[in-house]
Amino acid sequence: MHLTAEPLDLDALLAETEDETCGALVAFGGTVRLANAGKTVASMDYSAYGPLAARTMADIEAETLEAFDIRHCRMVHRTGRLVLGEVSVYIVVRGVHRAPAFAAAEHALEELKARVAVWKNETYSDGSQAYLEGTELARPERSRN
């Protein structure tokens, strides 16, 4: 499962990736923060087209495993309305050594932000709302035959 409307469960991801051969565990959690662009945030609504987002997240996990000397890479993103402090995303990486595990976790997060279409609509304390501007989705390279 890569997307869920339920609260995220870090313990489940840790259990899923448990591996006694790994000496490194990197877990990243992103939360809804109090302020953005000078406004006080009351809540954040996350939405996505599930099948496409899940497939892209699985691709990123596989690519990260291939590119770094790690054993496990898992990510999950929350959808729906979240309030301050709630976790919107977890990324868990396990590897034999810490340096590749840290690098892999950062890579997975940056790829998720660049390639997974998750829309974020902030609601501010004054009642106004705004969709956050994201990054342009990465486009696949086309062969020049």
Structural domain includes residue 136: no
Closest C-alpha among 108, 2, 9 to residue 55: 2
The pLDDT, as a whole number, for residue 143 is 47
pLDDT of residue 81: 97
Is residue 39 packed enough to be buried (19+ CB in 10 Å), middle (13-18) or exposed (0-12)?
A: middle
Residue range(s) defining the domain that contains residue 103: 3-131
CB neighbours of residue 101 within 10 Å: 25
- The predicted pLDDT at position 137 comes to 55
- In sequence order, the 6+-apart residues with CB closer than 8 A to the CB of 90 are 8, 10, 13, 27, 28, 29, 30, 75, 76
Q: Does residue 115 lie in a domain region?
A: yes
Asked whether residue 141 is domain-assigned, the answer is: no
Q: What is the pTM of this model?
A: 0.89
Q: What is the CATH number of the domain that holds 44?
A: 3.90.1170.40
In a domain, 138, yes or no: no
Residues of the chain with pLDDT below 70 are 134-145
What was the pLDDT predicted at 136?
Answer: 58
Is position 69 within any domain?
Answer: yes
Number of domains composing the chain: 1
